[in-house]
Amino acid sequence: MSGSINTITRGKKKYVVYKNCYRVKTNKKNSGKTRNTGKSEVITENKYLGTLENVLAKLSDKTKPAEFELERFGLEAAAIEVIERLEIRELLRKHFPASFSGVDTADYLLAAIIHRLHEAEPKSKIEDFINKSILKRHYGLDASKFNSQNYWKAYDSIISEKAISVKRDKITELKKKELTEETQKQIEKLEAEFGQNKNIDDFQKDFLNALMNKEKLHSEFLYIDSTNFYNYIDNNNGKTLLCARGKNKDGRNFLNQITLSIAATAEYEIPLVNEIYKGNYNDISLFPTFITKVIGQYAAVYKNADELFVSYDKGNNSEDNYNEMEAAAQKNNIKVSVVGSLRQDWHKELMDIPLKKFKDKKSDYAYYSNEKKVFGKKQKIVVTYHKSSAIRQEIKLNQKIEELTKKIKFYFDELTEEYKTNLTDEKLQNYIEKNITQYNPAKKILKVKIIRETEKKPELSIEFDNEALENERKTFGKTILFSSDDSLEPSEIIKLYHGKNKIDELHKILKCPSGVMFHPNWVWTDSKLMVQAFVNLMALTILKLIEKKFKDSKSEYSANAVLLKEMLESIQLVLVLEDLTVSRKAVNKFTMPAQQHLFTIFNMERFLK
């Protein structure tokens, strides 16, 4: 039966009731509506709808239904908590005091940093981002002012494109001169220092002070590494010196790129110092400039520190670089000790040490320790052996040998008989070695020869170089570590060095779409690239500080920076609007177990008041 609405009177008031009657079988096993299908009974339901006056008011046009809006909340609230704790907005105002269209450059930067933390979008998207996030209400920002034109002016007030073009033109003029050794050194020095800016460097020093005093970051061990980021900037007009083609770590060698160096703490992996460089600079070339900057800024902030430990990739190794580092340490009155690695082919005698001389064979890394003069100084040497790595390297080499053998045979079989006959053996062999075996590590294991007997077609001969194979096997699973601090135990050196992998996590976050993407930058001149790099690294630092606070809270849950970002982004604010005015705020339902914990530790309740 269909329901009906009736009124009932109680005292002087009338009430509206919805009445619904229907039949159900007495025995639930029975079914059907015809006779003899089982007894049934009538069920009556009454639902109270309210007084007659209230029901009529709701049905009239006198009241409007409430409207709802969603606002970005969780990630922005966590970022604001970090920003306010470290007084980042005040530091930005101190070092970048200009304003445009009534908005401080500091607020342009702050909005760009939080926006980049959310997503790598162009500046034209920031207005919409502010309107749909708590930034508009919390900071009182006029979103319409955050357009691309004002961002260009704000960025130019930090690093002037005119000043940068003067530096770039000076390098261009030097390149037109005769390239003597002295001129070449001068060009390299100017290019290495091209990405430096005093305003940003001074901000970084004050920011390091805030990290030391308010985050209690007293890291005496820094990991240093560099990576590169490709872009689609066309550099044919010469408007950017930073963008250049080089060996890209993502395999995009046909695109321009810029290089980024980072020095991060061993604990929590917080980026302390960073710099961008020309895209075709290799590690060994940019290391002196960057290590000098790192030591200088560290010594200026951590004035009571007696010693700084640094760890970097063996691609930075050279005696000149080591001497540059020691000179910078001496200038800043601080001892700098290194924990690094060495190339195996430079120290072949260490590869000949038999495994029976290695200690601690039950652990993951058995080791042999000694002392040796490296870079003109006595260093503590630790040769490690990792059995699982040795097995993997053996398997990989066998695969490469098989792959290379098939490739050489296929190429040789595809040549016509006429071509084989007319081509000299030397030219044919050289072609195989240069074009087919060039990038295969098995090249040194295989000996390729062309055999041609009188009046017979040439034949291919592939033989193993057993001595080269044995020398290669001696290196499997081994890594040569060194430290300039001979007081460190071998186990400490091993632990400190392998902690260097943590900085790779920063590179992954900067290249991960769900992390804090470094590219695309949506800018195309050197000055703007330098400011945008600063913005990107500040966004990464804030995310890592969010992760630090989560770890320090001793949560029962575990999550890395990227997962924390995902959980925070899904926390949104529900705004209840009445007559276009916010009457109530509420947080959407939590769908992940750690979200309530994040809501509490970042004090998000205050944004609901």
Average pLDDT, stretch 20-35? 74
C-alpha closest to that of 119 among 426, 555, 566: 566
Q: Per-residue DSSP letters for 60-79?
A: STTS---EEEEEE-HHHHHH
Whether residue 259 is predicted with pLDDT greater than 80 in this model: the reply is yes
492 within 8 A of 484, measured Cβ to Cβ: no
What torsion do the CA atoms of 269, 273, 279, 285 make, to the nearest 10 degrees? -100
The helix (run of H) or strand (run of E) holding residue 368 is: strand 366-374
Q: Is 451 helix (H, G, I), strand (E, B) or coil?
A: strand
- Name the pLDDT band for 543 (thresholds 50, 70, 90): very high
C-alpha closest to that of 272 among 259, 261, 282, 283: 261
Whether residue 436 is predicted with pLDDT greater than 70 in this model: the reply is no
* pTM assigned to the model: 0.81
Average pLDDT of the chain is: 87
Phi then psi dihedrals of residue 368, to 5 deg:
-125, 130
483 within 8 A of 494, measured Cβ to Cβ: no
* 465 vs 73, higher pLDDT: 73
Strand partners, 557: none
The helix (run of H) or strand (run of E) holding residue 181 is: helix 181-192
pLDDT for res 258: 92
How far is it, in rounded angstroms, from Cα 73 to Cα 583?
A: 17
Greatest mean pLDDT among 145-159, 276-290, 432-446: 145-159
432 within 8 A of 422, measured Cβ to Cβ: no
pLDDT for res 66: 64
Burial of 227 (0-12, 13-18, 19+ CB in 10 A): buried
pLDDT for res 437: 62
pLDDT for res 502: 83
517 within 8 A of 561, measured Cβ to Cβ: no
The terminus-to-terminus CA distance of the chain in angstroms comes to 49
Pairing mode, strands 478-483 and 572-578: unpaired
Average pLDDT, stretch 62-89? 86
Q: 439: which DSSP letter?
A: T
How far is it, in rounded angstroms, from Cα 481 to Cα 341?
A: 4
Q: What is the tens place of the pLDDT at every residue in 528-539? A: 999 999 999 999
Q: What percent of the chain has pLDDT over 70?
A: 92
Angle between the 319-331 and 283-301 helix axes, to the nearest 10 degrees?
A: 20
459 within 8 A of 408, measured Cβ to Cβ: no
Q: How far is CA 603 from CA 134, 543, 546, in A?
A: 14, 17, 13
7 within 8 A of 52, measured Cβ to Cβ: yes
Q: What is the 3-state secondary structure (H, E, C) of 564-584?
A: HHHHHHCCEEEEEEECCEEEE
In 375-451, the DSSP E strands lie at: 377-385, 446-451
How far is it, in rounded angstroms, from Cα 360 to Cα 373?
A: 25
* 585 vs 207, higher pLDDT: 207
Residue 333 C-alpha from the chain's centroid: 33
* 429 vs 141, higher pLDDT: 141
Least confident segment among 21-35, 95-109, 348-362, 525-539: 21-35
Whether residue 9 is predicted with pLDDT greater than 70 in this model: the reply is yes
What torsion do the CA atoms of 524, 526, 532, 533 make, to the nearest 10 degrees? 120
Whether residue 393 is predicted with pLDDT greater than 80 in this model: the reply is yes
Q: How many C-alpha atoms does 56 have within 13 Å on its Cβ side?
A: 6
pLDDT for res 185: 84
- Name the pLDDT band for 583 (thresholds 50, 70, 90): low
For residue 27, give both structure tokens: 């025995």
Phi then psi dihedrals of residue 161, to 5 deg:
-65, -30
Q: Which residues contact 462 (CB under 8 A, 6 or more apart)?
A: 405, 408, 409, 446, 447, 448, 449
Q: 588: which DSSP letter?
A: P
465 within 8 A of 447, measured Cβ to Cβ: yes
How far is it, in rounded angstroms, from Cα 385 to Cα 427?
A: 42
Q: 24: which DSSP letter?
A: E
Least confident segment among 4-13, 277-286, 446-455: 446-455
Q: Tell me whether the omega of the peptide bond preceding residue 490 falls within 30 degrees of 0, making it cis.
A: no
546 within 8 A of 561, measured Cβ to Cβ: yes
Tell me the one-letter amino acid at 591.
T
Pairing mode, strands 478-483 and 99-100: unpaired
C-alpha closest to that of 477 among 367, 573, 348, 314: 367
pLDDT for res 54: 78
Tell me the one-letter amino acid at 288.
P
Tracing tokens 């926006």 back to the chain, one arrives at 115
- Name the pLDDT band for 260 (thresholds 50, 70, 90): very high
Q: 594: which DSSP letter?
A: T
* 396 vs 29, higher pLDDT: 396
Please state whether 557 falls in left (phi above 0), alpha (psi between -120 and 50) or beta: beta
For residue 207, give both structure tokens: 């920011």
* 141 vs 281, higher pLDDT: 141
Q: What is the tens place of the pLDDT at every residue in 309-358? A: 999 989 899 999 999 999 999 999 999 999 999 999 899 999 999 999 99
Whether residue 388 is predicted with pLDDT greater than 50 in this model: the reply is yes
- Name the pLDDT band for 454 (thresholds 50, 70, 90): low
pLDDT for res 1: 46
CA dihedral over 475, 479, 485, 488, signed as positive or negative: negative
Q: What is the 3-state secondary structure (H, E, C) of 214-245?
A: HCCCCCCEEEEEEEEEEECCCCCCCCCCCCEC
Q: What is the tens place of the pLDDT at every residue in 199-245? A: 999 999 999 999 988 988 878 899 999 999 998 887 766 678 898 88
Q: 592: which DSSP letter?
A: S
109 within 8 A of 154, measured Cβ to Cβ: yes
